[in-house]
Amino acid sequence: MRISSLCTFGLMISSAVSAQQKLDPNQREARQIFRELIEINTAYKAGSTTPAAHAIAKRFIDAGFPASDVTIIGPAGDKDSSVVVRMQGTSTALKPILLIAHLDVVEALPADWSLDPFKLTEKDGFFYGRGTSDIKDGATTLAAALLRMKREHVVPKRTLVLALTAGEEGGGGYNAMTWLVANHRDLIDAEYALNVDSGDPLIKNGKRLLRALQTSEKFYQSYSLEVTNKGGHSSLPTPDNAIARLAEAIGKVSRYRFPVHLTETTKTYFERSASLEAGQTAVDMRTIAGNPNDSASAARLSVSPFYNAQLRTTCTPTMIEGGHAPNALPQRARVIVNCRVLPGETIQDVKATLTRVVADDSVKISFVDDGNRAPAPASPLTAAVLGPLEKVTRRLWPGVPVIPQMETGATDGTPLRAAGIPTYGVSGVFLDMDDIRAHGRDERIMVQSFYDGVEYIYQLLREVSGASQVSLYKTGAIDSSGL
């Protein structure tokens, strides 16, 4: 390395150290937790969530939480564990609030990245690493908030239950939230849950745009469309070619649009989002919120894949297979159609619609799985959640609107809602809507957004839990020297 390069490298290290020295004790602790989580590989194939669960558990026990309130748990024999922490409240009459994030991440191949995916790298105003945005930043904000409350002698009225779990990203094993609901409901039972894996506040063109509140999710359901026949020699084609019949069915499904169906969440979403838009789009949003049957507004909004997904159930072909030889008529052709079903609609209704749209008895339509699951209901827009969220948003981010949102993907909120625990997505970390890298190469978040999120979640948890501070804090008798 040349001397000039050494000097440059030394300046970079000095700058990074200087930036860390400017952190207050709460930010410094949050950065330590974040780094620890990022640098534990929790991908299913190459890693495990168990070391991360133990690391979090140790922090809480070292902070003075009773060992009986810190539980590492998972199915016997599975390599991936979760951690559940209870911060006891003063009221036994009020049900707890559940706080959730997942510890697992999707796989990351180091060869695909420009830096080590399992090392927290701070560079040019960003934190890089697998899980920085999905969702170890959120897990950190929750853990840091409870540890700070403990350190500052802040006592919640409602018990707060933190569950950092395994298996949300799939890839094998089990989904820990589904398993906890089925096997240890008492450990996580709550009045409602706050989920930092959704409801992301967004930045556009460098400006804070909105504070989302996720109240519902579409339901993931795939269907198989299959055509079979006797086949034959390709030199003697027949009208009922299995691939040709299937192709016609695929075309019909691709062109079909399900009816517009607005929920309480999506109606409010379009009403409030209209103020962030201009021209015809703003007009169409207000119109569709007042009249979901306005076909012209729906058609214009549906040009956007995002708005289209908010308006209706969607189905699209994603995988196809067929034929067995280049010189033989196909005996079988099959396509997978993946649907995202709105809350309030059923997967059986969607199957009936696909059957009607295809209108071909030679095409067999079936569920890819058993088809016995039901979409989870939307969580109501209650003052108990919306009030504190708007209050903290006004305090920290004046002028940023709170906008309810329906997730078009899926999170661990689904099994909780299905179990009767309303769940609300409330991430505190702003994401640049034009630079979202979750699951991708060089995943990253903005450094300042991370620290803003740490403070936001701390203040939000104090508000929703009805927390008070004991006199020890009021006298200033707090020791942060260990951070």
- Average pLDDT taken over every residue of the chain: 92
How much is the average pLDDT of 323-337? 97
pLDDT score recorded for residue 409: 81
Domain 219-367 indexed as CATH 3.30.70.360 = yes
The neighbouring-strand residues paired with 402 are 211
SS (H, E, C) 97-154: EEEEEECCECCCCHHHCCCCCCCCEEECCEEECCCCCCCHHHHHHHHHHHHHHHHCCE
User: Can you read off the two tokens belonging to residue 80?
Assistant: 């991936």
pLDDT score recorded for residue 410: 84
How many Å apart are CA 482 and CA 479, to the nearest integer? 8
Whether 468 shows a pLDDT value over 50: the answer reads yes
How many Å apart are CA 435 and CA 204, to the nearest integer? 10
- What is the tens place of the pLDDT at every residue in 27-41? 999 999 999 999 999
Class of domain 22-216+379-474: alpha beta
Whether 442 shows a pLDDT value over 50: the answer reads yes
Helix (H) or strand (E) holding 476: none
Do 359 and 256 form a contact (C-beta atoms < 8 A)? no
Comparing 438 with 62, the larger pLDDT belongs to 62
CA-wise closest residue to 296 among 270, 260, 251: 260
Q: In the chain, where are the structural domains located?
A: 22-216+379-474, 219-367
Q: Is the dihedral of CA 362, 368, 371, 373 positive or negative?
A: negative
How much is the average pLDDT of 365-386? 87
Q: Tokens 């000097």 belong to which residue?
A: 7
How confident is residue 13, by pLDDT bands cut at 50, 70 and 90? Answer: very low
DSSP for 36-72? HHHTS--BTTT--SHHHHHHHHHHHHHTT--GGGEEE
The neighbouring-strand residues paired with 226 are 334, 364
Whether 166 shows a pLDDT value over 70: the answer reads yes
Do 237 and 244 form a contact (C-beta atoms < 8 A)? no
How confident is residue 470, by pLDDT bands cut at 50, 70 and 90? Answer: low
How much is the average pLDDT of 78-102? 97
Whether 18 shows a pLDDT value over 70: the answer reads no
Q: Hey, do 22-216+379-474 and 219-367 end up sharing a CATH topology, with the first three levels equal? A: no
**How would you class 359 by CB atoms within 10 Å of its CB: exposed for 0-12, middle for 13-18, buried for 19 or more?**
exposed
Do 222 and 339 form a contact (C-beta atoms < 8 A)? yes
Residues 6+ apart with CB under 8 A from 2: none
DSSP state of 370: -
For residue 103, report the phi and psi dihedrals to the nearest 5 degrees.
Answer: -90, -25
Comparing 218 with 375, the larger pLDDT belongs to 218
Q: How far is CA 252 from the centre of its chain?
A: 32
Do 164 and 102 form a contact (C-beta atoms < 8 A)? yes
- What is the tens place of the pLDDT at every residue in 183-199? 999 999 999 999 999 99
How much is the average pLDDT of 219-241? 95
Do 250 and 295 form a contact (C-beta atoms < 8 A)? no
pLDDT score recorded for residue 375: 78
pLDDT score recorded for residue 483: 40
How confident is residue 392, by pLDDT bands cut at 50, 70 and 90? Answer: very high
Comparing 145 with 9, the larger pLDDT belongs to 145
Q: How many helices (H) and strands (E) does the chain have?
A: 16, 21
Looking at residue 58, its amino acid is: K
pLDDT score recorded for residue 77: 86
How many Å apart are CA 28 and CA 12, to the nearest integer? 19
